[in-house]
C-alpha cells in the first residue's frame, strides 16, 4: 500500500462510520452571535460544544484590548520569541501568570498543544521515563514521543496501577515525569491529585499537571485542580491553554523550579515557532484578570453543569463519573452516538461527536460543554431535547 | 515467574490475540498486528498494559515502532525480560 493508498484506506474507514454527506467533524459555523449562539447552515443554533467555560469570548474588555494592540503593534510578530518576536506583552503575561499561580517562573507558548509538546520534550529525553495517564490528551502523547523518553501508560485514574508501574521502574522512577490532567477532556472527570502527589513523593519522581480544562473552572481563583485540592506547591510543573476559559490561543507552563527557564534554549516547539500575536496576548492578559476575579462566573458555570449532568443521569443516559463543565453521554456504538448528535442538531443544539478510537474503552461519546453564559432556560431546552431523544436512541 | 522462552511468549500472545481476530484467521508468528488483526491504536495500547502486568515488566510505547508482527512483539517482550534479569 503506497502513501496515498493508506490515506484512501483511512477515508474509507471513516466513511463506513458516518453516512455519506453528513459532516459531523469540522461542521462550518457561518456566523457567531454570542458565547452561546451561532448560525450553522440556515439555522440559529445553541452552542453546547465549545470550551468557552467562562463565556468570555465576547467580553468587551478583552475585545477592546485586542483592538488596541492591533492598532499599536500590528497583526503579528512574524518571528519567534528567540528572535524578533519577543514583545514586552509576552513577558508581562508570563509575569502575570507567575503571579497568578504564586510561582517563580512561567513560559508562554504559541498554542496549548505546544505548551505540552515544548515542556515535556524539554524536561525529559532518551533514557528518562514518561509515566502518563491512559486517557491523556494527544499533545501529551506527542510531547513524550518528541522527547525520546520511554513512554509508559497507567490505567486512567487508577492509583494502584500507577504505583505498580512506578515500582517496576525501580531506580528509574527518579528520572520519571508523571503526567496527569486536572479535568480529562473526554469524560470530564478529575485526577485524584492527592494520591498522585503522594506517589510522586514516595518514588522521588516529578509531576506535571495539565490544567487545560480546569483553568478557570476549579479552585477559588480558578487556578485549577491544584488550587482546589490545596496541592499547588506539590505539583512541579503546571501547563495550560489560553484557548478554553481564556478564549484566545496560546499556552503556558508555570513552576517554582527556576530550571523551567532553561526550556527556552532547548525546547524546539518554543524556539522554532512564531510568538503569539499582540492582540492575542493583550486579550489574554485581560481575560486572565477576569478569570481570577470570576468567582460569580464559576458559580454560574457549575450551576449549569450540575443541572445538565443530573438531568441526563436521571433520564437514564450513561454519563461520566462526576459532574463538571464537560458532560459526556456515553453510547455503546457509533450509530447511537450519531443518531443522538444528529437529533440534537435538528433540535438546534450543537455538541461534539467522538467515535472510537478517540473515545475511551471503545465507546462513543456525545460530549456537551456548558459555560457560564448559558442561561438556565437554555440548559432546560437542552435537557428537554435529550429527554425527547432518549427513547429513540436507547433501546 | 518461572523461566520463560520466546516460544512460550509466542504461544501466550497467540492465545490472547485470538480475541481480536476473525475466528477464520489462523494466528501465526508472522501475522501482522495492524493489517491482519486490525487492532486499532487504543486496543494495542491496552493490550500492552495487560502484557506488562502479565510479565511484570515495563514495555515502553516508543519500543513498539519496530513491532509489526506477533513474532516482533514476542521478541520485544523476551528482550525486555532478559534485560531486566
The CATH code of the domain that includes A384 is 3.90.1150.10
pLDDT (tens digit, 0 to 9) for every residue of chain A, 395 residues total? 888 988 888 888 777 766 544 566 778 899 999 999 999 989 999 999 999 999 999 999 999 999 999 999 999 999 999 999 999 999 999 999 999 999 999 999 999 999 999 999 999 999 999 999 999 999 999 999 999 999 999 999 999 999 999 999 999 999 999 999 999 999 999 999 999 999 999 999 999 999 999 999 999 999 999 999 999 999 999 999 999 999 999 999 999 999 999 999 999 999 999 999 999 999 999 999 999 999 999 999 999 999 999 999 999 999 999 999 999 999 999 899 999 999 999 999 999 999 888 887 788 999 999 999 999 999 999 999 999 999 888 76
Three-state DSSP string of A117-170: HHHHHHHCCCCCEEEEECCCCHHHHHHHHHHCCEEEEECCCCHHHHHHHHHHHH
Which chain B positions have a beta carbon within 8 Å of A356's beta carbon? 40, 42
Do A144 and A216 sit in the same domain of this protein? yes
Which chain A positions have a beta carbon within 8 Å of B57's beta carbon? 168
Digit-coded pLDDT (tens) for B14-68: 988 888 777 788 889 999 988 888 787 888 899 999 999 999 999 999 999 989 9
CATH code of the domain covering residue A126: 3.40.640.10
Whether residue A92 is found in the same domain as residue A220: yes
pLDDT for position A17: 66
Determine, for residues B45 and A134 on separate chains, whether the beta-carbon distance falls below 8 Å: yes
Select the residue of A150, A153, A169 nearest B49 (Cβ to Cβ).
Answer: A153
A345 and A200 belong to one structural domain: no
Into how many domains does chain A fold? Answer: 2
Q: Touching check for A72 and chain B: CB below 8 Å?
A: no
Same domain? A272 vs A321: no
Q: Are residues A21 and A169 in the same domain?
A: no
Tell me if chain B has a CB within 8 Å of the CB of A56: no
Is A163 in CB contact (< 8 Å) with chain B?
no
Instruction: Determine the structural domain holding residue A332 and report its residue range.
Output: 3-54+295-393
Residue with grid cell 450540575, as numbered in its chain: A306
Q: Are residues A43 and A70 in the same domain?
A: no
Quick one: A95 and A201 in the same domain? Answer: yes
Q: Which of A134, A151, A163 to mutate to test the interface with B (most CBs of B within 10 A)?
A: A151
Choosing from A268, A292, A316, the residue where a domain stops is A292
Residues 6+ apart with CB under 8 A from A327: A188, A305, A308, A309, A312, A319, A320, A367, A368, A369, A370
Q: Which of A229, A263, A292 is the endpoint of a domain?
A: A292
The grid coordinates of residue B1 equal 515467574
Q: How far away is chain B from the Cα of A382, in angstroms, using its nearest Cα?
A: 32
Q: Are residues A70 and A43 in the same domain?
A: no
Domain match, A162 and A268 both:
yes
Residues A215 and A331 in one domain: no
How high is the ipTM of this complex? 0.91
- Based on the domain organization, do A274 and A323 belong to the same domain? no
What nine digits make up the cell of A22? Answer: 453528513
Asked which of A292, A319, A344 is the last residue of a domain, the reply is A292
Same domain, A32 and A141: no
Amino acid at each position: 500500500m503506497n502513501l496515498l493508498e493508506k490515506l484512501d484506506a483511512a477515508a474509507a474507514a471513516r466513511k463506513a462510520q458516518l453516512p455519506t454527506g453528513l459532516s459531523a467533524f469540522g461542521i462550518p459555523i457561518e456566523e457567531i452571535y454570542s458565547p452561546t449562539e451561532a448560525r450553522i447552515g440556515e439555522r440559529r443554533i445553541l452552542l453546547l460544544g465549545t470550551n468557552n467555560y467562562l463565556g468570555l469570548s465576547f467580553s468587551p474588555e478583552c475585545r477592546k484590548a485586542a483592538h488596541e494592540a492591533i492598532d499599536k503593534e500590528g497583526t503579528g510578530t512574524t518571528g519567534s520569541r528567540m528572535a524578533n518576536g519577543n514583545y514586552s506583552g509576552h513577558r508581562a503575561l508570563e509575569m502575570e501568570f507567575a503571579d497568578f499561580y504564586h510561582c517563580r517562573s512561567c513560559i508562554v507558548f504559541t498554542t496549548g498543544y505546544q505548551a505540552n509538546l515544548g515542556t515535556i520534550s524539554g524536561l525529559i529525553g532518551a533514557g528518562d521515563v514518561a509515566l502518563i495517564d491512559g486517557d491523556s490528551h494527544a499533545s501529551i502523547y506527542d510531547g513524550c514521543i518528541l522527547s525520546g523518553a520511554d513512554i509508559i501508560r497507567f490505567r486512567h485514574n487508577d492509583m494502584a496501577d500507577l504505583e505498580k508501574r512506578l515500582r517496576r521502574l525501580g531506580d528509574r522512577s527518579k528520572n520519571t515525569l508523571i503526567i496527569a490532567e486536572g479535568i480529562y477532556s473526554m469524560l470530564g472527570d478529575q485526577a485524584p491529585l492527592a494520591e498522585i502527589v503522594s506517589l510522586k513523593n514516595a518514588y522521588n519522581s516529578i509531576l506535571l499537571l495539565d490544567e487545560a480544562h480546569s483553568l478557570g473552572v476549579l479552585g477559588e481563583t480558578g487556578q485549577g485542580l491544584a488550587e482546589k485540592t490545596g496541592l499547588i506547591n506539590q505539583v512541579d510543573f503546571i501547563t495550560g491553554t489560553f484557548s478554553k476559559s481564556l478564549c484566545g490561543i496560546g499556552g503556558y507552563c508555570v513552576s517554582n523550579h527556576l530550571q523551567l527557564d532553561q526550556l527556552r534554549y532547548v525546547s524546539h516547539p518554543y524556539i522554532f515557532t512564531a510568538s503569539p500575536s499582540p492582540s492575542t496576548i493583550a486579550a489574554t492578559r485581560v481575560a486572565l484578570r477576569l478569570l481570577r476575579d470570576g468567582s460569580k462566573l464559576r458559580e454560574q458555570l457549575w450551576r449549569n453543569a450540575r443541572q445538565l449532568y443530573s438531568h441526563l443521569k436521571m433520564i437514564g443516559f450513561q454519563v461520566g463519573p462526576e459532574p463538571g463543565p464537560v458532560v459526556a453521554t456515553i453510547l455503546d456504538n457509533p450509530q447511537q452516538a450519531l443518531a443522538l448528535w444528529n437529533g440534537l442538531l435538528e433540535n438546534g443544539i450543537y455538541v461534539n461527536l467522538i467515535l472510537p478510537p478517540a473515545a475511551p474503552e471503545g465507546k462513543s461519546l456525545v460530549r456537551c460543554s456548558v459555560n457560564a453564559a448559558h442561561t438556565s432556560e437554555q440548559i432546560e431546552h437542552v435537557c428537554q431535547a435529550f429527554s425527547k431523544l432518549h427513547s429513540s436512541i436507547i433501546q | 515467574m518461572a523461566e520463560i522462552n520466546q516460544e512460550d511468549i509466542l504461544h501466550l500472545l497467540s492465545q490472547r490475540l485470538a480475541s481480536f481476530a476473525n475466528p477464520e484467521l489462523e494466528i501465526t508468528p508472522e501475522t501482522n498486528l495492524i493489517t491482519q488483526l486490525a487492532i486499532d491504536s487504543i486496543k494495542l495500547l491496552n493490550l500492552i498494559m495487560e502484557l506488562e502486568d502479565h510479565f511484570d515488566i515495563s514495555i515502553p510505547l516508543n519500543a513498539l515502532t519496530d513491532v509489526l508482527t506477533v513474532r516482533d512483539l514476542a521478541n520485544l517482550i523476551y528482550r525486555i525480560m532478559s534485560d531486566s534479569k
